[in-house]
Amino acid sequence: MSGGIVTQWSQHATRPPFAIIGLFLLCLFFYVVYAGLSPLMQQALIDMGGMEPAVVSGLLAQPPSTWWSAPALSLLTALLLHDSWLHLLGNLVYLWVFGIKVEQRLGSLGMIAIFLAGGALANLIVALRLPELTSPIIGASGAVSAVIGAYLGLFPRRHIGLFIPLGLYLQFARVPALFVIGSWFTLQLLYTAFGPINAAVAWWTHLAGFALGISLALAARGIALLRHQAGPTTR
């Protein structure tokens, strides 16, 4: 990629990651609300905001004019709900590690678009793959996977700093992002193929989000390249 494109895309680098911060606060807010409820009300919140594959797949079988309803909205609302600190923390850590660079490159609106579109599509894929499943699905895993895919599409040669355990010590090393994300992606494939039904739900969510994220990132790179090539001819 030429230096002109890098300069053009990096104009957001000095801005705070408003999209990441906003998504953090939204997910944290909904978890605090969830944690403050009684077990019965917690389940009611999950039933109301979670994505139920059987309901969504049934909705898709109806005329398109009926698609704009609460079940369709659950493709998005499910992304903001988490049922444990571990569930929430895991998603937020990956969102922070990979999302900041994605937002710096694509801007806040691009980051939000990838998060929401990737997460919604991931939930939709689960509904199509497991149409008989009646348990609500919640969590931002599919959206975060889309962000990881976008990171790989935008920065295929970048290195990520990791602490690697060597006996009783931790050694800091910079590992190619392609290797780190490739290992993560391979693990998702293995769990999808050999995991139990609950694992299949999670891993299909991850894979669908990842695929959309990397596709959107490659499309953005292509558009930036075309704009750069067309730039010198304009007056």
pLDDT of residue 172: 62
pLDDT of residue 87: 83
Could you identify the residue written with the tokens 């049922």?
A: 83
pLDDT of residue 165: 60
Domains of the chain by range and CATH? Answer: 3-233 (1.20.1540.10)
Q: Tell me the pTM.
A: 0.81
Q: Are 52 and 105 in contact (CB under 8 A)?
A: no
15 to 75, 95, 100, 112, 216: CA distances (angstroms): 30, 17, 10, 15, 22
Stretches in the chain below the pLDDT threshold 50: 1-13, 233-235
Which tokens sit at 51?
Answer: 């994505």
53 to 81, 135, 198, 205: CA distances (angstroms): 16, 8, 13, 12
Name the residue among 213, 44, 51 with its Cα closest to residue 128. Answer: 51
